[in-house]
Chain A
Amino acid sequence: MNGRLMWRKMVNGVMLSLTGVFTVATISVLFLILGYLVYYGGRSLDWNFFTRLPLSPGEQGGGMANAIVGTVQIVGTAAFIGLPIGFLAGVYLSEFEDRRFAPLVRYVADLLNGIPSIVIGLLAWSLVVVPMRRFSALAGSIALSVMLVPIVTRQTEQFLREVPSALREGALALGASKWKMIATVVVPAGSKGVLTGMILGVARIAGESAPLLFTSLNNQFWGGFTQPTASLPQMIYTHAISVYDDWHRQAWAAGLVLITLVLVANIAARLVLARGISVPRG
């Protein structure tokens, strides 16, 4: 009996410490990745990276100014299209819920969220690139906005739902109509959460590469809305799979810049939510 108890205690100790080891292992991967990027990226990053165009392998002093501008342009346009659509659809799901249609929209939004990004790229190719007969930044933006909409919809819905019903009832009791209640009470109360969701969504699409492969393509020079346009994720991909050491260094530098953008956006969004939260969360 005593031996049995000791055995059970030993299993308990071993398994519980294993779960801790697994947690530490997973989190150390994050720091390993950051360490690699800071070490290799930091060595390759210089001022030229932000101000100059890419050069051929072998030439010194090239940069990725066009890819930085291209990413801002493609992601900015995608946000301009996707954020309002996602937000309003989220308002519908949270405020005008009807029993048959809303669950369907919710389910389809979740499915859309899980569709591989490369398949979204095929959609944008067939909708935009084929009729325009050229690759363009616009096609890339449309692909990214298709990814952004379901993310923002679900986040908006979630945070608006957390607005206490007492606030809604108060507004209605004062004689506000429903849309006035939504516009002046519910949305402002949930705004921090909604904003967080939007920042996270934009940060997520900013790092996407697969939907841009055959929509905005890539460009060694400056792009434009109706031109093939460079972006940081594309540049990392093409430079990393090349055989030139110069280009590998540029890929590391671009990786460091991209991860900095994405992580800063993520941390900032979560801090916005953590500080001065306007809605009590359960």
Chain B
Amino acid sequence: MIINFDNAATTYPKPESVKKTALNAIEKFGGNAGRGGHALSMKTSEAVYSARETISEFFDAQPENVVFTLNCTHALNMAIQGIMSGGGHLIISGMEHNSSSRPAAELARNKKITLSIAQVYPDDRRTVESFRSLIHNDTKAVVCTLASNVTGQILPYREIAEICRKKNICFIADGAQACGIIDVKMSDGINILCTAGHKGLYGITGTGLLITDGKYKIKPIIQGGTGSSSSSLYQPEFLPDSLESGTLNITGAMTIKAGIEFINKIGREKIFSHEDKICRIFINSLSKNKDIIIYRNPESSYVPIVSFNIKGVMPEKTASILAQKGYCLRAGYHCSALAHMQLGTENGTVRFAPSVFSNENDALKLAEFVKNVTVSEKSKKSIEII
């Protein structure tokens, strides 16, 4: 028996419509989009364009400004390296996933940019001020996760985006934990939105999106065949081709469309309410236990993710015990060195992340089991001391 509460890593299971779309894509859309004039290629091209249309409507963008990537990391690397190619100063938040902090750190280490890290606080006003205070004349871009993949904290991204707009600074958003969960639109002031296709958007793994408002030119980091301007040795300058070299993950693109249609059918707000309720039930069940630390602050707002620890028990051990009972939770650093540094969790945390397919009953049973683990680990330690 498997009960997946690690949906922040990737959502599982996928909706039936997404599974059917994947199979249909393999069976009927076997051409290469944008290459060739025969029926197979044109049919596949239309399917990919249709995916761009659905995605662009969902995020309030233009279809040609939707770029398919391998994952959110790929999108963030393209955005950060593409925007900072000429050097300058970059600000990232103190809760960034390694998919933004690593490319940023590498550019800084190679002295191609200067880098600042903005502290994130439970109080949004302090977080906004933290970003503002780091901006100077050379600041070219700000990278900000919309919601932390460790704690779920939603950052005040609209306010930060507004500061960037006034200062003519490119605002790059990591929407991996927010897209499909909270209402994310390019009109929030986002210049470049990077997100995963396989998390809150319910597409298959191997998918990501980079969506731009077109204001800032993104220098490509990969060059290759695009099915356009093919007599030129140089990468086309128009989107999406400039950032889409090589054959797309066509099946993946079609599943993102199916995933978004699934979200629209149920209602994004309904999905958020459902998952949020499950998180609250989980937290309420554990909160009275003094041996359990829950990393949430009443001043902040959150997407449906909860990080916790059992005092005196390594997070990996907790997760391992839970896994033996079929509960899938991720422990450790969650590829977010900065976030754990900020939290002070030197051994990481255990992360609870439901999806639309999770239910309250399973969350309650898990919470009871966590409490039992707390008791049993505590008694083991008592025996050891004796």
The answer to whether A and B interact is no
- B residues neighboring A (CB under 8 Å): none
